[in-house]
Amino acid sequence: MPVFEVSGATVVFLLIVAVLVAFLTEIVPNDVTAIGVVAALVVLEPWTGVDSRAAISGFANPATVTIIAMYMLSAGIQNTGLVERLGIYLADFTAGKEFRALVATVCTTGPIAGFVNNTPVVAVFIPMVTDLAEKTDMSPSKLLLPLSYAAILGGTLTLIGTSTNIVASDFARLLIDGRDGIGMFEFTGLGAVLLAVGIAYLLTVGWRLTPARVPVDSDPVSEFDLDNYLTFMEVRETSEAVGVSVEAFDEAYPDVRLLQARRDGRAYAGPHSDRLLEAGDTLVVHGSLQAVNRFREAAGLGQRSREAVTEDTFEATATDGTLAKAVVPDHSRYVGETVGETGLHEYHETSVLAVRRGGELLRTDLKDRTLQAGDMLLVRTTPASIRYFTDTGDLLVADERAIDRMASTDIAELAPLSSKTPVAVGILASVVGLAALDVLPIVIAALAGVVAMVVTGCLTTADAYGAVSWNVVFLLAGVIPLGLALESTGGAAAVAQFIVATGEVLPLLGVLFVLYAAVGLLASVITPVATAVLMIPVGVDAAARLGANEFAFLLAVMFASATSFMTPVGYQTNLMVYGPGGYEFSDFLRVGGPLQLLLGVVATVGIAIGWGL
């Protein structure tokens, strides 16, 4: 009786399908899925050919180590205050004009992202761009999407511009004979062309297509539709609140949140105050209509329904609390935790009033809501907590007005430059120079740069470790052996055969464009790094079968993976502006789709001219 044999390539394909489903559905975080891949490859070793040593090789891969070092170097530059200071100067340059604000945003973000990791650049620029929009009397939505796209485009300028470039360099070393990786500025010419074309698009067609989702200078209460969730109440003489501290009274009623207490028209206490309530005090209460009504009856309070709670209600108590909008970044420790589990209220005097997740607005049962990367939170918080969130990066405060209220308007105090600024910039320049001149491999130069920054005091070890997006590192380390298994089992060759088949009806340039388009689509639904790892072996194999330039096909995969514009989940920076811009999923497709198609044409032609087919 014949025995059905399963080939190694089939097993790897099935594993890849399972990984793609997990990435799309996010049943578990992507980095956890990647670590699961490591275990699965070893368990299935008879088919995958991957033993335990090969399975964990991704952690020692030069690309992984280089990316870790570049995160740390970016943090060192971030600590100098240069990016923040630049944002302040941009506001002066725009002079209140909309188009100038757009030009300033895209023309500064792109070049910076070529040398500093684009994720922290966007994190710093989000509140500044929001403030820029307010000063020019325009919707922040008109600037935030171009901000993300410009940062993505800037990543194509240098080898260290984005993680996918570093991954591609390592694959070039492994898969292409005679190649020792990719030079620091080897593709800068084409990257500059793509950046210029992208900026031209964003300043013209993209500007018209980008929607103004968030109203100009909108009140957060109205923006998050909280008019029926924030209420003024009055403490009656017979109320049980009389003589009770604000904090104790707030804790006694967990279904509502006491955000503020007012006396004689002045706010004097937040929810963590030990100040005693008196008859005649006015309370600002947050909760659903049903919960608030139950609270009013149980506590014997009166309701002042004619007066509406607005952002100005909290402006009066800037020393005790304020409203702010904050984004949950993908590296935040709050991702995957419920609002109640984060301890925001207990430890950071921060109350979450609403959560915007794409087009969905969550305002009830918030304690039990699990936070996801890209969530936009409306919070009542304090200046000290804003500083804490800014320092740790666990939340990105996206409301420059909230930051202004905690700091002086003096530029030197609002965006101070570190005394170590020249040293940090010099170290980064040295890393780039040593790698560009082939004095040291990029991985060694980057590690040496990290050591130099720590030794010179530009970076503490705690800041260095905290700057790394470890989820990206574990994702890369887990997916690299999967890419190697795809290559060694013949799976890459099988996929490449489909691409080769298009050569029967298309010229070689057309085949390259088909590859670029396919990779771009895949990068839009899973991470660019994972796409590069899986598709570079396919591209190189297809080129070999066609007798074409293998490096040209590798570059096509690299550029296509690094320029993902069509979905908010395709690139970290897209996810970061998703909430603050109030965008819908379709906005990325409408604005990013034509841009991705345009760059596909420009990139394939540019590769053909620059490196030949």
pLDDT tens track for 13-45: 888 888 888 877 767 777 788 888 888 888 888
pLDDT band per the 50, 70, 90 thresholds, residue 239: confident
Q: pLDDT class for 336, splitting at 50, 70, 90?
A: confident
What percentage of the chain carries pLDDT values higher than 70? 92
Predicted confidence (pLDDT) per residue in 174-204, tens digit: 888 888 889 889 999 999 999 999 999 999 9
The tens digit of pLDDT for each residue in 149-172 reads: 999 999 899 988 888 998 899 889
Distance, CA of 329 to CA of 121 (rounded, Å) = 13
pLDDT band for 59, please (50, 70, 90 cuts): confident
Cα–Cα distance measured from residue 564 to residue 113, given in angstroms and rounded to the nearest whole number: 15
Pick the CATH number of 228-307 from 3.30.70.1450, 3.40.50.1010, 3.30.70.2740, 1.10.10.10: 3.30.70.1450
> What single letter denotes the amino acid at residue 466?
G
Report the alpha-carbon distance of residue 199 to residue 146 in Å, rounded: 9
pLDDT exceeds 80 at position 389: yes
For residues 470 and 398, which has the higher predicted lDDT (pLDDT)? 470
Mean pLDDT confidence for 327-338: 82
**Helix ranges restricted to H, 139-288:** 141-154, 163-175, 188-203, 205-209, 220-223, 246-251
Task: With cut-offs at 50, 70 and 90, classify the pLDDT of residue 413.
Answer: low
- What pLDDT was estimated at residue 595? 95
CATH classification code of 322-405: 3.30.70.1450
Hey, is 326 helix, strand or coil? strand
Contact yes or no for 143/133 (Cβ under 8 A): yes
Question: Given this model, what pLDDT does residue 405 score?
Answer: 47
Q: What was the pLDDT predicted at 209?
A: 93
Which parts of 100-247 are beta strand (E)? Answer: 230-235
Residue 318 — very low, low, confident or very high, per pLDDT cuts 50/70/90? very low
∠ CA 235-238-239 to the nearest 5 degrees?
45
Whole-prediction pTM: 0.80
- Higher per-residue confidence, 192 vs 362: 192
- For the chain, give the mean pLDDT: 83
What does the pLDDT read at residue 603? 95
Lowest mean pLDDT among 204-208, 334-338, 482-486, 503-507: 482-486
573 or 405, greater pLDDT? 573
62-78 and 442-455 helices, crossing angle to 10°: 40
For residue 408, the model assigns a pLDDT of: 45
Beta strands in 474-553 (DSSP E): none
Domain with CATH 3.30.70.1450 in the chain: 228-307, 322-405
What's the pLDDT score for residue 80?
A: 78
pLDDT digits (tens, 9 = 90+) for 559-572: 999 998 988 877 87
| Residue 407 pLDDT grade (very low, low, confident, very high; cuts 50, 70, 90) | very low
Give the residue with greater pLDDT, 497 vs 149. 149
pLDDT value of position 365: 81
Which of 134-148, 200-214, 398-412, 512-526 is the least confident region? 398-412
Which tens digit of pLDDT belongs to each residue from 529-540?
A: 888 888 898 899
Candidate ranges 141-150, 244-253, 486-495; pick with highest mean pLDDT: 141-150
Choose from 88-92, 246-250, 483-487, 501-505 the range with maximum mean pLDDT: 501-505
Look at residue 341 and tell me whether its pLDDT is greater than 60.
Answer: yes
- pLDDT recorded at residue 592: 92
Give, for 361, the enclosing helix (H) or strand (E).
strand 360-362
Residue with the larger pLDDT of the pair 299 and 516: 516
- The average pLDDT across 68-93 equals 75
2 has a pLDDT exceeding 50: no
More confident of the two residues 525 and 283: 283
Q: How far apart are CA 20 and CA 32, in angstroms?
A: 13
List, for residues 422-447, the tens digit of each pLDDT value. Answer: 898 899 889 888 888 888 888 898 89
Q: Residue 575: its pLDDT value, please?
A: 80
Percent of the chain with pLDDT over 90: 17
Q: How many CB atoms lie within 10 A of CB 218?
A: 15
Is residue 549's pLDDT more than 60?
A: yes
Structure confidence at residue 550 (pLDDT): 94
List the 282-286 sheet strands across, edge first.
266-269, 257-263, 282-286, 230-235, 301-303
Mean pLDDT is lowest, of 4-13, 105-114, 474-483, for 4-13
Predicted pLDDT at 87: 64
- d(Cα 179, Cα 381) in Å, to the nearest integer? 54
Determine the pLDDT at residue 313.
73
pLDDT tier for residue 70 given thresholds of 50, 70 and 90: confident
The position carrying tokens 């025995």 is 3
Query: How many separate helices (H) and strands (E) can be counted in the chain?
Result: 32, 10
